Amino acid sequence: MSTAIAFDMLAYAKRLKAAGVPESQAEVHAEAMAELIEDRLATKQDLKELELRLVIRLGGMQAATVAIVAALVKLL
């Protein structure tokens, strides 16, 4: 997945520094936040892939349901 999420580490670090966080800590915190965002947030592509898997699974369940109902109708 190569979809980038916009996160301005420099602006975030500057904001932390302005709030009184030492520069070295602000930079490390900004890097950690960028990694967390990249690793944990779902991208649009992730959501599209999930949607496709759910549609396929739902279609399979519907086909199985129709087959079961058809078999039951033949038995009764």
DSSP state of 71: H
Mean pLDDT of 8-33: 94
Instruction: Kindly report, residue by residue over 30-53, the tens digit of the pLDDT.
Output: 999 998 888 888 888 999 999 999
The structure's pTM equals 0.52
Q: Are residues 50 and 67 in the same domain?
A: yes
Domain membership of residue 34 as a residue range: 1-41
Q: Are residues 18 and 52 in the same domain?
A: no
Split at pLDDT 50, 70, 90, the class of 1 is: very low
First and final C-alpha spacing in the chain: 51
Q: Are residues 33 and 48 in the same domain?
A: no
3-state secondary structure 13-39: HHHHHHCCCCHHHHHHHHHHHHHHHHH
Distance CA 67, CA 10 (A): 58
CA-based radius of gyration for the chain: 24
Q: What is the mean pLDDT of the chain?
A: 90
Q: Are residues 5 and 32 in the same domain?
A: yes
Task: Provide the number of structural domains found in the chain.
Answer: 2
Mean pLDDT of 15-28: 94
Q: Are residues 32 and 68 in the same domain?
A: no
pLDDT on residue 3: 53
